[in-house]
Amino acid sequence: MTSEERRNFFKGMAFISPWIIGFAVFTAVPIGLSFYYGFCDFALTAPRRAPLWIGLDNYQQLFHDVVFWKALRNTVYYASMALPAGMLVSLGLALMLNARIRGQTVYRAIIFLPSLVPAFASAMIWMWMFNPSMGVFNMLLGKLHVAPPDWLGERLAMPSLAFMSVWGVGNTVVIYLAGLQDVPRELLEAAEIDGAGTWRRMFSVTLPMLSPVIFFNLIMAIIGTFSILTVPYIITSGGPNKATYFYTMYNYDEAFKYLNMGYASALAWIQLAITMVLTGLAFWSAKKWVHYG
């Protein structure tokens, strides 16, 4: 290093040092620690209160743990509905809101508003809307003489939560709208001159040009969906009969209700691994469908 390089190095390090400390204390060490705790018996209820190395026991126990599989299955079930629904609705809405029509700003504002509602408040609102006898959904259905379903019952609770999640796609829509601004107008006009209709232009020009943004939103949605907690925690607290018991709830309960820090750490690591694998898959598939122009 020349003296200038050295000076820059120290200057740069000085500026980013807050992040380096924060990264070490609040991210790197916690992840390392939970990796270690994952191999330990570490119950805060025991008199010993220090982690005791037990090797792979936690992970073996997980493998036979009915609740673990239930929570994992629930989360995957929820994601299998909420992820595609959210992706399709947000993209569809963005395409409609991108059309140059009257009242565009009003439509945009209305679609965005729910994103401003805190998750805990929207949980309250929807819980009240889903109410079987006094809620608004069954009131509207009653007017159509449809038998009122039990929205938060064992069978429907999960689809209801997924349905509700679509209400909050405003953020994603805004990101799409920004991406749509960057689709070159000349390209669309050229396609039109070549005789491409609305749909053809959308599938052959707009969507490929938008694919990096779709990819970004997909990654964010995967991470968000697999770490959902607030809304189901408030609305159903995992019930009825564990039908909406999510993975993060199990993690939270093991750590802070039963104080099994070791077991909870193993759960956290599996969540991290699942998120990483899914994101990795998305990145791998990106080669086939994401166009960086």
Shortest Cβ 288–other proteins spacing (Å): 19
Nearest in space to 253 (alpha carbons), one of 240, 263, 241: 263
Does position 86 interact with other proteins (CB under 8 A)? The reply is no
- The residue from 54, 202, 219, 282 that contacts other proteins (CB under 8 A) is 219
Q: How many DSSP H helices and E strands does the chain contain? A: 15, 2
Does position 239 interact with other proteins (CB under 8 A)? The reply is no
Using DSSP, state whether 228 is helix, strand or coil.
Answer: coil
Does position 248 interact with other proteins (CB under 8 A)? The reply is yes
Give bridge partners of residue 52 from the DSSP assignment: 41
Using DSSP, state whether 146 is helix, strand or coil.
Answer: coil
- The residue from 139, 190, 277, 281 that contacts other proteins (CB under 8 A) is 139
Does position 120 interact with other proteins (CB under 8 A)? The reply is yes
- The residue from 150, 192, 208, 216 that contacts other proteins (CB under 8 A) is 216
229: DSSP letter: -
Does position 271 interact with other proteins (CB under 8 A)? The reply is yes
Shortest Cβ 64–other proteins spacing (Å): 22
| Binders in 194-213 for other proteins, by CB under 8 A | 198, 212-213
Only one of the segments 67-75, 132-140, 185-193, 200-208 lies at the binding site for other proteins (rule: CB under 8 A); that segment is 132-140
Of 139 and 190, which CB lies nearer to other proteins in the complex structure? 139
Shortest Cβ 190–other proteins spacing (Å): 19
Shortest Cβ 149–other proteins spacing (Å): 15
Classify residue 51 by burial, with Cβ atoms within 10 Å: 0-12, 13-18, 19+.
middle
Does position 117 interact with other proteins (CB under 8 A)? The reply is yes
Report CA 77 to chain centroid distance, whole Å.
13
| Binders in 151-180 for other proteins, by CB under 8 A | 167, 171, 174-179
Does position 130 interact with other proteins (CB under 8 A)? The reply is no
Does position 293 interact with other proteins (CB under 8 A)? The reply is no
Only one of the segments 54-62, 70-78, 94-102, 281-289 lies at the binding site for other proteins (rule: CB under 8 A); that segment is 94-102
Report CA 164 to chain centroid distance, whole Å.
13
Total residues at interface with other proteins (CB under 8 A)? 96
Integer Cα distance of 152 and 24 in angstroms: 42
Integer Cα distance of 21 and 17 in angstroms: 6
Q: What are phi and psi of 67, to 5 degrees?
A: -65, -40
Classify residue 37 by burial, with Cβ atoms within 10 Å: 0-12, 13-18, 19+.
buried
Shortest Cβ 287–other proteins spacing (Å): 17
Residue 182 burial (CB count, 10 A): 11
